[in-house]
Amino acid sequence: MKIVGIPTLSDNYTWVILDDDPTIATHAWVVDPGESQTVNQYFQAHDLELAGILITHHHYDHVDGVSDLVETFGKIPVIGNASGPFKGINQAVTDGDHIRIFAEPFKVIETPGHCPEHLSFYHPQALFCGDVLFTGGCGKIWDYPPERMSQSLLTLRNLPDDCSVYCGHEYTYANLRFATLAEPDNITIQARLNEVTQKTLMQQPCVPALLGIEKQTNPFLRFDQFPLKATLTEKGAEANNPASLFATLRAWKDECDAAGILEMNIND
C-alpha cells in the first residue's frame, strides 16, 4: 500500500491509496475528494482506475468531487457514514466495522465532534481522520458539544505511536504556532515548529506526521496533562473535566485564529 496526497481547493488534501508504487499501480482508492478535476488529472497521468472512495464527513470540501468521479469511473463503492447529510454513500459503515482496501485491513472509528457523523479510517500504518485530528491541531467544533470532540481525540490518542496521521487540511504551521503559545516551555514543540517552518517556507507538505509526534506536540492530544492542564485551569476550565479542558483550549485557539496571529508572515 502506498499513499499519495493531492492538494485540492485552498488547503485540503485528497489522499490516494495505491495498490503498489505509483509507477506500476493500476488501481487506487481516494479519501475525501473535495473536487474531481485534480483527482482526475492524477489518475489520467498515472493511468489509474479508481477502485473506490472513502468519506470521513459530509462537508463540501470532502465530498464535492464524488458525483463526477462516480460518473467517470462507473459503479464504485463510496464508503462512509450514511447517517450524515451527504447522500452519495452506497456502502454504509459504522463504528467498529472492518473494511479492506486492496488486501489491507482498515477499522472504522466513529469520531464525532467536528460534525455528528464524522468517521476515521484506521490502518496500523495510516489514520485517515478528516477534520477531527489535524497535524498539530484539531478541527473546529462549530456549535457541537465539546464532550464529543474531546472524547474522539482521546480515542485517537489511544492508537499506536507509529501510525501516520493523514488529515484533511494543511494547517500544520499555524497549529504549531499555537502549540508554542499553549506550552511555551516544551522544547519538542519548538523543535517541531522550526522543522515545520522550514517545510512551509519551501512549500513542502507537513502531513502526514506520526501519531507519536502528535502525542508529544499537539495540544489537542495533551489538554488533560500537565503543564497544559494547569494553564487551562487558570483560564477557567474544570481541572478534572476533559470536555471543559478541551473547550477552553479550543476557544483559545479560535481567538488566536480570529486575531490572525498564527499565520506565516513572510516579511517577519
148 binds Zn ion (CB under 5 A): no
Stretch in the footprint of Zn ion (CB under 5 A) among 54-62, 72-80, 177-185, 255-263? 54-62
Nearer to Zn ion, 34 or 189 (CB): 34
CB of 195 to Zn ion, least distance (A): 26
CB of 100 to Zn ion, least distance (A): 26
Site track 160-199 with Zn ion (rule: CB under 5 A), x = hit = ----------------------------------------
Under 8 Å between Cβ of 126 and 134: no
Q: Which of 110, 131, 170, 183 binds Zn ion (CB under 5 A)?
A: 131
Nearer to Zn ion, 106 or 134 (CB): 134
Instruction: Report helix angle 146-157 to 242-259, nearest 10.
Output: 100
The per-residue b/e assignment along 21-59, b for 16 or more CB within 10 angstroms, e otherwise, is: eeeebeebbbbbbbbbebbbebbeebebebbbbbbbbbb
Give DSSP secondary structure letters for 66-108. HHHHHHHH-S--EEE-TTSS----SEE--TT-EEEETTEEEEE
Determine the size of the site formed for Zn ion (CB under 5 A).
2
Residues 14-43 that bind Zn ion (CB under 5 A): none
Residues at the contact surface with Zn ion, assessed by CB under 5 A: 59, 131
